[in-house]
Structure 1
Amino acid sequence: MTQSKASSREQELLDTILVVQEQAQLLDLALDAIVVRDLDNQITFWNQGAWEIYGWTKEEALGKNSHTLLQTKLPQPIEEIEAELFNTGRWQGELVHTKKDGDSIVTIGRWALKRDRTGQPTAILEINRDITARKRVEEALHQTDERLKLAVKAARIVAWTWNASTNMISRSETACEILGLTPEAQSGTGDEGWKLVHPDDLATHQARVQKAIDCKSSYVSEFRMIRPDNGVTIWLEDRGKVTYNARGNLVSIEGILFDITERKQAEIARQQVEFEKEQLLQRERASRAEAEAANRIKDEFLAILSHELRSPLNAILGWSTMLRTRKLDQATTSRALETIERNARVQTQLIEDLLDVSRILRGKLSLNVLTINPASVVEEAINTMRPAVEAKSIELLLHINPNVGMVLADPNRLQQVVWNLLSNAIKFTPQGGRVEVILSSSRSNSHAQIIVKDTGKGISADFLPHVFEYFRQADASVTRNHGGLGLGLAIVRHLVELHGGNVSAESLGEGQGATFTVRLPLLDTQSVSNRDSDRLENFINLEGIKVLVVDDIADTREFLVFVLQQYGAIAMAAASAKEGFACFEQFKPNILISDIGMPEEDGYNLLRKVRQLPPEMGGQIPAIALTAYVGEGDRNQAIESGYQKHIPKPVDPSELIAIVAELLAVTGKR
């Protein structure tokens, strides 16, 4: 009996060994790594899959601490993992292991707790599947998705998908910014999507989409949309693709929306321009040229403004800061206030000058020309710049021919030309250098030549052709060392050309200095009067011209009549619009000068009655509005009312006479 029981146990043990061996062989066939470790993490089983995944043979792995061998990186603290394992008998999570060759891999680990018959834990079964390749694909897909989102945002497009089974539309995050939708409205039904389309474009857009559905193809459609956030109408281009399943059922429509508002606005504007061109070709050309010129003038004028206003502002702000300290003595305080006042006046004049420059750029500046000797203008400019010359110890050589002849020029503008050239020469000439100013006549005695030479920085051959262009400077270092916006020489060119002359620049290259030559046409000596050449009456003669002056201020009437009579005009004055109209019919003037703001009846009504007269009775007479109303709106109203010129009070006598002469010349009433 005892022998029989022993034999039975031996057979049972043998069967168990055979089962274990069979299970081990099966485990070796598994592709996953199957590892059994005791409660001290010592490896007791290592299958073929573990060898192939990690690189260690069974002999190398058995008996080793699994976490140490594989350099396991856990997704959470080991205490939390073990608590879950011992409480539930299972744990699952992603692990990072290091293989024998040093490469890291990501595995999905499934741990199970093995217990004996008494329920006591004896070992841990660990099955690890290598998911490294899958994780790389997931990461690549994630990066691709992120790049796609960035591309969609950068390109200002909205990606969308309509699900046929649910009738729901989902849109990319850019819908909020581009379409003006709220985050809640980013997704919605197909019917809600149709409502976003402008009512006038809905039928056409629906027809294009339906055609794509019927033909199982794609479509491109343009339509308007009123943004729900601000009510602004925008243009969208919708590119969609229809998707069907294998059974031929509609699955979805995917597409992208482009904001093409700017493009459509440009197209509409272009179509409008083309239409106007067909109707009134000349009007279209003039409008386009005026728009381009206005944009260019705006930029140039703002730059000039910044350039020219800095000098007086420097003195004003500097002395203002010093005065705020209250530490200046009485003499210095007086000097500071005088300097501020002087520079404020300079600033005022600069503003007037800059307004004139803007008129130069628009071709609408009337120069106050006189018959002058350019020698006096050149000498005044030199005297103005002497302190700057002395400050840099520059040798100033002068060759001024006082008998060069007479030119027809605006002395202030001509002085500005010389001052700009001389200022430029001083600025670019180093300490102890030399500047030379020459005034002479050309070989043919037809032109006066003003030459300014310096031994300064010079001009490179590449830059020389551009030296008179606006906003052009030789290089960045010039900007840093000398400042300025590159306007001075461009202004010189405009002013010289307005005087019928020309200006040129020469230089042998950088470091070789520069020479600027201004050529102005000389007047025929027989046409120059022996009288004072600075007086305007030398070339404007109003002999026999009848001028009616209407102003309610007696002093103004007396002054205007006196000025007009000095130039030979026959002037009559009236104290009101009513009196002026009565005088008009009797006096029959060649030109009317009228105030605007007068008691009982203003200058607008006076001119309205004059314009109602037939031409032979003076209904088309040239008229000047001379008024203290000097706003832009006032000027426009005066011109629209029929006045040819609007002159703000107080008026300079020479300016008034020049405008009178100009209007009479234009209308042919001289």
Structure 2
Amino acid sequence: MNPDQPLSAGVVASGVRQHDDATAAELYDFVENAVEGLHRVGPDGTILWANRAELQMLGYGWEDYVGRHIADFHEDPATIGYILTTLLAGGALYDQPARLRCKDGSIKHVLIHSNGHFVDGQLRYTRCFTRDASERHERDQALAQRDAMLMGAPVAAALLMGPELRFRLVNNRYRDLIDTSDMIGQTFDEAFPHLGGGGVAAAIARVYASGASYQEDELPVTRLDAQGQTVEHFFKFSLEPLMDLDGRPEGVIVVAVDVTEHVRSRLAIEQAAREREQLLVDLGAASQAKDEFLAMLGHELRNPLSPIVTALQLMRMRKDSSYGREGEIIQRQVDHLVRLVDDLLDVSRVTRGKIELKFERVELTQVTDRALEMASLLIEQRRHHLEVDVEPGLVWDGDPARLVQVVSNLLTNAARYTEPGGWIWLRVRQDGADAVEISVRDTGIGLAPEMRDQVFELFFQGKRSIDRAEGGLGIGLALVRNIVELHGGSVQARSEGRGLGSEFVVRLPLHGLAKMAVPAAVAAAPAMDSAPQRVLVVDDNADGADTLAHLLKAHGHTVEVYYDPVTALAAIERFRPDVALLDIGLPVLDGYQLAARIRALPAGRSCRLIALTGYGQAADRARSQASGFAAHLVKPLNGAEAIRVVAGMASSD
């Protein structure tokens, strides 16, 4: 064939048909094997054709799907109606959400794109593209749940989205809290221009850029109240980054809680605490000034009393005729003044921790005899009937001079507050195997219930008659309690009420001493209250440390006393204490530091620590416990409690 010769008409027509067939085959292969679901629907809703992707997506075979009405597969009738109406009217659908029923009964969320093919104005069929939207639906559902959760959150919450961080969602609590108009679509600075760049917008931007959370517990924000006055509010402000599936930032969640009342309450409590601390400092200073004044007053009063007493003694020695009855009156009143001065000096020593006990073994009849001698003048003057019942042979280990002071003060108190001619009973007996009980009872004015504890307070006095016949400074019973507690004992006031008399009962530990069955020089050794312990006492108050050591030794413990922490530390390896009583307020090293140093030594690891301190609040006890102390004793120490705690250290091993 000549290539330049034109093709005949038959040859040309044959070539066109071949080309059209090839194009149709390629087109058929393209739509049949496309990864997107495709189907064709007639004007009445009958499915005319579907490609492989459509059938596989829903799980149907050709015969199960093609030739059936689309209503057989759509879950929502309203969606079918909308689709058919739109397409019949010549409209097109883009991303139309629909729910299709799969062959296995499950529901598939899809997006449909569709338009119609019209001939002479009549819809012949529709072209439909079906895309699986399950993941998108799950994401949308998750976002909807997130938004619903934020909207219903019990705290104020908002959502800022996009690079410009504009409000997309704000719940009602946030609106109420912020008290502003609708802020949707605005940035933080646009919504709150009155904050004046308070740093919140910058913090939101940092969270968005870094992906790191941010929290401010007490963010101060100045707002205007109803009267236009600036009021400071405080918010607990939390910012959480919102990331997309690829880990890129897409927004920030804002959570705010108004903590204004909480902050104001805390500030008020802190202010009250500061004022309380200052008050305690002031009270401490006032108490110290009072103690120093009492000590000074007692010493100064002794200066004029000394020559008066000496002059009276000289007058008696010379048998001066002018002495007579007036001299006896002066002598009695001077004796009374001397007693008051002694009480003042004693109470100043007690309140400053300067009182010193001198322990010795004594028969209690000797103590009561001396106390009766001291109180007899007042008892005789008021014509009281006195009965004394002292258990014979009873021996006690303690400071006899101080116990004489206790008993004489109780007798004097009974004499003062009992009408002339009344009755007073003094009774001393052993109470159990390890204690002695001293009781002074009277038929006097009695005590109201609320006064039974108050009578032991310093300078406390009950209601007096106008002539103040009872006398005294209200010091005697306070001294009684302090002296008794220094010995590890207790004192209790009893009374049936006003006008029914009173009874004061002192209970003291015998420290293991029994009745005197043999001379004191060969008396049996004290019985042990508990297993003997090696006890270390560290306190810069020498009198307090020595007194405590004497009590512990009387109970069979081996005791070493140190007045400074450095010397005490040096003795640990040698002494190897089982128990250490440490004053918290030590110089150089406080009690907490000393405890840590002791624990660090090999010989101190098994040592049980007891804190000695003037502070007894719950926080103080918690701190000592956290520092490794097994017990917490508050000054002034109760001797009986100290003995019990040390004994407990042995029983807890």
TM category, shorter: 0.3 to 0.5
Of Structure 1 and Structure 2, the greater helix share is in 1
Give the TM-score normalised by the residue count of structure 1.
0.34
Give the TM-score normalised by the residue count of structure 2.
0.35
User: Which structure has the larger Rg over C-alpha atoms?
Assistant: 2
